[in-house]
Structure 1
Amino acid sequence: MATTRHQVRQGAFQVLFALQSNLDADPDLVCQQISEEEFGLESVLEYMQTLVHGVLEHQAEIDSFLETHLNSKWSLDRLSKTDLLILRIAVFEIKFESETPDKVALNEALELAKAFSDDKSRRFINGVLSNLL
């Protein structure tokens, strides 16, 4: 069965979530572990690493984009870790990954929210990313 970019994004989300819990972990090693556990193959590893390293390397810029597009009563500190990671992945793809169309990045963020968050968060993520776009 072919692995989809959506599954790779889910893996990248899991890697970033794990890295938040263990700041000393090697991102490449965690990518490899998730890739092998979730998909049993290394073909997804390259794009997963692109997402993970991209989010980590551009986090300050991504967070700055997010802060300017959040409702005035929200701050990054107030967001759940799950929602923040989903937003960071989407903003990375929108701002730094030219291969991915903006609407696809938005839709994929909503799919991640469906898998890892709730309806309220999904609406919030949709609002933030729509505002950004």
Structure 2
Amino acid sequence: MKRREARERALQALFQMELNEMTTDQAIQNVMDEEQDDYVETLVTGVAEHKSELDQTIETHLDNWQLSRLNKVDLSILRVSAFEMLFLEDVPDRVSLNESIEIAKIYSDEKASKFINGVLANIAQND
């Protein structure tokens, strides 16, 4: 599975976890076919384990906005990318940022992609 698809599946799993009470394993299983993907597991598990730290970092870089006001899709996209930027050294910040913008265009809207770009650019510059 390509990393873009893995990021999309991770987004879907995290979104499900945000709406329903389920474990990371259940959420991963819900979005995967028969195959398993280590990168999906890395992203979902990593975001779940570092959720409070990721949320704090994201909130610090929101201009005149609060985390609680973000829609769950955009928040999940931000968490995945922030996790990659802060915890995965093999993923360049620019790649994570660009992937998040493209995924936002698919799962959210044009305004969201610009907003996500601004937040992640601030994280990349300051962390």
Give the structure-1-normalised TM-score: 0.88
- 2:68 pairs, out of 71, 77, 90, with 77
Aligned position for 1:93: 84
Distance across 2 between alignment mates of 1:69 and 1:86: 15
- Matched residue count: 124
Match of 2:118 in 1: 127
Partner-residue secondary structure (3-state), 2:32: helix
Are 1:28 and 2:20 counterparts?
no
What is the aligned partner in structure 1 of residue 12 from structure 2? 14
Gap runs ≥5 in structure 1: none
Deviation per CA, 1:9-38, whole angstroms, max 9, x where unpaired?
Answer: 000001111111211x221132123111xx
Query: Structure 2 regions of 5+ residues with no counterpart?
Result: none
Deviations for 1:47-99, whole angstroms, at most 9, x for unmatched residues?
1111001111101111111111110x201011111111100000000001111
Which runs of at least 4 in structure 1 moved beyond 2 Å after TM superposition?
Answer: none
Is contact 2:24-2:48 (8 Å) kept?
A: no
Q: Which residue of 2 aligns with 1:65?
A: 57
Structure 1 residues 33, 80: CA separation in 2 closer, same or farther (over 3 Å shift)? closer
Bigger Cα Rg: 1
The code of the aligned residue for 1:9 comes to R
User: How far apart, in 1, do the equivalents of 2:17 and 2:121 lie?
Assistant: 27
Identity rate of aligned residues, in percent?
Answer: 44
